[in-house]
Amino acid sequence: MITISLNNETKEIAANTLLSDALVQWGFGETKIAVAINGEFVPRSTYNLRAIVADDQIDIVKPVGGG
């Protein structure tokens, strides 16, 4: 297992888990989201290519009202 940060909370996940699989594990499978890892945007088309590594800082965002 490796430790990562998900939306500023510490989480553990199996090493080399693909981002696409991790999103399903974390319950984001069906929701409208966008992802950045370590401050870099990760396009949806690459979710199944990006393996999560230790200390990754993952931000997952959803639409909210805004001004």
Q: Is 27 in the site for another protein (CB under 8 A)?
A: yes
- Alpha carbon distance 17, 46 (integer Å): 14
Q: Is 60 in the site for another protein (CB under 8 A)?
A: yes
Helix (H) / strand (E) containing 26 = none
Instruction: Give the alpha-carbon dihedral of 33, 30, 6, 53, to 10 degrees.
Output: -100
Q: Is 10 in the site for another protein (CB under 8 A)?
A: no
Q: Is 64 in the site for another protein (CB under 8 A)?
A: yes
Contacting residues toward another protein, per CB under 8 A: 7-8, 26-28, 31-36, 39-41, 43-44, 59-67
